[in-house]
Structure 1
């Protein structure tokens, strides 16, 4: 594909689809062994954490209702054990998610680079290279973690101070300022996420990693603000369409009238739908 085509969102999507189609066996193998376990962990972790959290809350309610009793003391011991189990699970969960996420990134980036450079490529070769590249990605992730932690700390502190300083002003002005502040921090969060993902690619394909990969990522994104906006918008659109696709897959009926009323409630009005939308195509 020509370089000019890759500078547009449609060109990126078409090129990605072309690579996936021409090397579907390789990417299917990578998806089955690396990406599928990652998605399973992301979607299924609540199956373990949910019951533990529910049990902890139930025991805490029992202790509040029966203070000072031997049964309450027994429940208190159970809570300590359950919190320890929950903490151990979350640590293991985060480690596995981090490992599969970095491995998936390394395998995919390396594969695409080999395709463009016309180097011989196989599933075994990719898995053999991944452990070496994984270390560079881990260092980059450590820097990203520090950056995200600092960002969240600043965001929480700023919003908290804003609420304290503006709580006595006009309510409409207070809400407007708070919404604008939240939108600004959300935009910054999206920007940091883009820097992170691009820095991960840089860590595999260039000599830079860690802080230098992040700085290189900022330099590359700065000339492509419009494309970054388009990619972010496309991701948001995809999330919404994916929601309707999931409901259709599970044969959940979509009440478009109720949905329209729900949307109209945000604006204090109700506008009935003039036509129905079919989801079978999804």
Structure 2
């Protein structure tokens, strides 16, 4: 990165996109290798999941309708009922398998990209072989942070669900309109909280790689860093989320349900969607790392490049000894 650390705090949404694009172009070879090895399989996995889930679920729904029109107790009814039970089992097994591999490739991709961008920031010599050797060690730290984040999301959703059920039961007894209105307000508040937790999770992943904290400590650090750059984070998260949704929706319409285009047309659209989706995921991970440096700069936390470089070198040596926060962020610089 050519920008001085003191100036990074002034980067806006467009500037961060521009800086991410510049970094990817500068290290085109290594990012291409990371993409082919980790991000491409991750993107392909997501699109395959959309296709297969649609086929499995459509078959289940079709058989459910047939079952309704079949006489209860007959051989056909019992056979169809067992068949539907088996289909649901396959459906949920496929989901479990998908989320397992999604988690693995997501953490590996995040590890590789964050390490690479940080190496560019510290002007370290970089090769694909070094990145791949580091990824398994960084991945373990990210897993701890993910588990704590998962618990946070689980607790948040559980509490939100209980509150909405209680509000629905109590208020609908008195006024349906008031109950619906309050549920809408609670739904909006839930959405705000969900986005906030998502932002904390994304930045905590970077913190887990570049600092000596992980898990709930990384989440607390991420929460502190986001302050002051909340709107920038929200806009970045919103833009990337909308783009991701648009491409997945387009894939579903043109490929999954695009029977009118024929097999060749569906395959062609699928390849285009996959290539665009891969680029979007790479861009998102690079932006996520740059946002970390922007937030650090905003809070005037000076990152000593030499100490950070040593921190990254320890990963490479495979003998990780946690370095203290003061070694990474030596002091606050004056603006």
TM-score by length of 1: 0.79
- Which of 140, 146, 150 aligns to 1:141? It is 146
Q: Which residue in the other structure is 2:7 paired with?
A: 4
Could you tell me which runs of 5 or more consecutive residues in structure 2 were left unpaired when the two chains were aligned. 259-335
Stretches of structure 1 that go unaligned for 5 or more consecutive residues are: 253-282
The count of aligned residue pairs is: 250
Distance 2:162 2:100 in 1: 28
> 1:227: how far off?
2.5
Provide the rounded CA distance (Å) in 2 between the counterparts of 1:169 and 1:239.
42
Q: Take 1:230 and 1:202, find their aligned partners in 2: how far apart are those partners?
A: 20
CA gap of 1:240–1:208, structure 2 versus 1, over 3 A, is closer
Between 1:113-122 and 1:69-78, the stretch displaced more is 69-78
Q: Is the 8 A contact 1:5 1:11 kept in 2?
A: no
Quote the Cα distance in structure 2 between the aligned partners of 1:134 and 1:57.
Answer: 39
Higher RCO (CA 8 Å, separation ≥ 6 residues): 2
Q: How far 1:200 sits from its partner (Å)?
A: 0.5
Superposed counterparts of 1:157-172, under 5 Å: 157-167=162-172
**1:103 maps to what in 2?**
108
Contact 1:63 1:75 in 2 (8 A): yes
CA contact (8 A) 2:47 2:248 kept: no
Verify the 8 A CA contact 1:6 1:12 in the aligned structure 2: no
Q: CA deviation at 1:11?
A: 2.8
**CA shift digits 1:66-123 (9 cap, x unpaired):** 2101121122222232222222211111111111100000000000011111111111
Quick check: 1:201 aligned with 2:206? yes
> Any idea what SS the aligned residue of 1:45 has?
helix
The aligned residue for residue 69 of structure 1 is 74
Instruction: Give the whole-Å Cα distance in 2 for the aligned partners of 1:119 and 1:239.
Output: 32
Matched with 1:278 is none
1:255 aligned residue: none
* Larger displacement relative to structure 2 (210-219 or 95-104): 210-219
Secondary structure of 1:213's match? Answer: helix
Matched, 1:39 2:43: yes
Structure 1 residue matching 2:46: 3-state secondary structure: helix
- Equivalent positions of 1:218-233 (< 5 A) are 218-233=223-238
Q: Where in structure 2 are the equivalents of 1:77-156 lying within 5 Å?
A: 77-156=82-161
Distance in 2 (CA, whole Å) between partners of 1:44 and 1:153 is 30
Following the alignment from structure 1 to structure 2, what is the Cα–Cα distance between the partners of residues 244 and 93? 19
The yes-or-no answer on 1:183 pairing with 2:169 is no
Q: 1:77 to 1:178 in 2, by over 3 A?
A: closer
Q: Considering only aligned residues, what root-mean-square deviation do their CA atoms show, in Å?
A: 2.7
Report how far residue 162 of structure 1 moved: 2.0
Partner of 1:28: 32
CA distance in 1, matches of 2:72, 2:55: 24
Taking structure 1 as reference, are residues 51 and 158 closer, same or farther at Cα in structure 2, changes over 3 Å only?
same
Q: TM-score, normalised by structure 2?
A: 0.67
